[in-house]
């Protein structure tokens, strides 16, 4: 990454209600249901390279994703199974072998935090353009790319819904930025923003170590990813149920916690030092060092945009620690201190 690359975004580039067909629903060897956030950071870098080739240089620094609707291609049942296909046919007209893949159709809004890369592409002038010509040109480039392996379908006009891409400057003043964000987040409703919740994983680990001192982060992650039903004793002073039945619940899954999900957030190297460029045969890029990696997992949460107080809360950025061999995405979301998730469900949204 260039040392001259800016770190502070100057504007937001938004692509509302993108329709994506057959995106990859398998986000890691252990999770499925929505593409990995690394798919969207990869899209961000691919789009930046394409824009540079198209003569529209722009720094894309962070990315956020708002999911409005999804349709995972599975067969419902006690255990969900992927709907698999055997196409295209081979050169002899025979059906192909089945290769298990997860597919999902999405209706998402992508939010990019951008910075000016060249005086030839002035962001202030582009943001003031009523026709939003720059945003439309970038949308044309985006339509040629794959999003998590899925195809971008042409947008359809929907009454009362803004579907055209737009660009807006980020006010430098924090108060003015908060006011602008209140207006922007209304456009992303109904929908849910994926944010990182590393703090919940740490809390789960601390809980496990009260009874299992040897518990690891993997134990905590697996514990948070499943139901852990336990019998609940009758409260002191309360009458025992007449039918003699014992109530079973998961004490760590209260109201509002259903939006917490296990997610992959990046990769960890499997060796101390990457291979030199060209040392690994058939690598995609022969000019870049290569290393083998495994997925890094954490917890995420789907949050309605009206609960976010800052645009930075919905954005993810890449974080590289080459000395530890850790390449992961980090969320800008900071959970409000002392707020009960169940209380948030009863909040009335403030759209003004």
Average pLDDT, the chain: 87
Q: What percent of the chain has pLDDT over 70?
A: 94
- pLDDT in the model for residue 342: 47
Could you tell me the pLDDT band of residue 339, with boundaries at 50, 70 and 90? low
- Beta bridge partners of residue 97, listed in sequence order: none
In angstroms, what CA-CA distances link 192 with 12, 55, 307?
18, 34, 10
Within 146-292, residue ranges assigned H as helices are 174-186, 198-208, 217-224
Using the 8-state DSSP alphabet, how is residue 251 labeled?
T
For the stretch 240-299, pLDDT in tens is: 777 778 888 888 887 767 688 999 999 999 998 899 998 999 888 889 899 999 999 999
In this predicted structure, what is the pLDDT of residue 107?
Answer: 94
The whole-number average pLDDT for the span 119-146 is: 84
Least confident of 46-50, 214-218, 228-232, 295-299: 228-232
- Give the model's pLDDT for residue 348: 47
- Secondary structure of residue 51 in the 3-state scheme: helix
Q: How far is CA 326 from CA 207, 249, 265, 342, in A?
A: 26, 37, 11, 34
pLDDT at 160 over 90: no
Does position 188 have pLDDT exceeding 70, yes or no? yes
pLDDT over 60 at 1, yes or no: no
pLDDT 10s digits, 47-64: 999 999 988 888 999 999
Residue 303 CA to residue 260 CA, distance in Å, equals 9
Residue-level pLDDT at 2: 58
CB 303 within 8 A of CB 334: no
Report, as an integer, the average pLDDT of 188-206: 93
Q: Is the pLDDT of residue 350 over 80?
A: no
For 164-184, b where at least 16 C-beta lie within 10 A, e where not — what string?
Answer: ebbbbbbeeeeeebeebbeee
Asked which of 75-79, 204-208, 301-305, 319-323 is least confident by mean pLDDT, the reply is 75-79
Identify the band that residue 128 occupies on the pLDDT scale cut at 50, 70 and 90: confident
Residue 340: pLDDT band by 50, 70, 90 thresholds? low
Give the residue with greater pLDDT, 263 vs 346: 263
The larger pLDDT score, comparing residue 222 to residue 118, is at 222
- The pLDDT of residue 78 is 83
Over residues 330-343, mean pLDDT: 74
Instruction: Output the pLDDT for position 227.
Output: 87
Element (H, E) at 140: helix 133-142
pLDDT value at position 268?
A: 95
CB of 12 within 8 A of CB of 168? yes
Beta-sheet strands, E only, within the chain: 11-24, 58-72, 74-75, 81-82, 103-116, 146-147, 150-153, 166-169, 192-196, 230-232, 247-249, 260-269, 293-303, 316-321, 326-331
């Amino acid at each position: 990454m260039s040392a001259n690359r800016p770190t502070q975004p100057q504007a937001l580039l938004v692509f509302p209600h993108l329709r994506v067909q057959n995106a990859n629903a398998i986000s890691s060897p252990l999770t499925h249901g929505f593409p990995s956030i690394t798919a969207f950071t990869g899209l961000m870098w691919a789009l930046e390279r394409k824009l540079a080739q198209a003569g529209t240089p722009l720094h894309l620094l962070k990315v956020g994703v708002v999911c409005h609707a999804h349709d995972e291609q599975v067969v419902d049942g006690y255990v969900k199974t992927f709907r698999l296909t055997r196409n295209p046919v081979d050169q002899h007209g025979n059906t192909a072998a089945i290769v298990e893949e997860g597919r999902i159709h999405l209706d998402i809004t992508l939010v990019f935090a951008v910075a000016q890369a060249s005086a030839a592409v002035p962001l202030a002038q582009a943001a003031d353009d009523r026709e939003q010509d720059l945003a439309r040109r970038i949308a044309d480039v985006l339509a040629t790319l794959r999003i998590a392996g899925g195809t971008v379908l042409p947008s359809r006009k929907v009454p009362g819904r803004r579907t055209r891409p737009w660009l807006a400057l980020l006010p430098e003043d924090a108060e003015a930025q908060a006011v602008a964000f209140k207006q922007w987040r209304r456009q992303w409703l109904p929908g849910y923003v994926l944010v990182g919740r590393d703090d919940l994983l740490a809390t789960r680990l601390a809980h496990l170590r009260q009874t299992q001192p040897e518990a690891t982060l993997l134990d905590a992650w697996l514990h948070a990813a499943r139901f852990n039903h336990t019998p609940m004793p009758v409260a002191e002073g309360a009458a025992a149920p007449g039918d003699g039945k014992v109530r079973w619940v998961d004490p760590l899954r209260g109201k509002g916690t259903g939006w917490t999900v296990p997610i992959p957030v990046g990769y960890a190297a499997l060796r101390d030092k990457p291979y030199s460029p060209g040392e690994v045969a058939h690598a995609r890029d022969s000019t870049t060092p290569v290393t083998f990696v495994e997925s890094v997992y954490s917890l995420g949460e789907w949050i309605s945009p009206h609960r976010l107080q800052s645009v930075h809360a919905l954005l993810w950025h890449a974080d590289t620690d080459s000395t530890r061999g850790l390449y992961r995405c980090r969320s800008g979301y900071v959970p409000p201190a002392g707020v009960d998730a169940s209380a948030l469900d009863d909040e009335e949204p403030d759209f003004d």
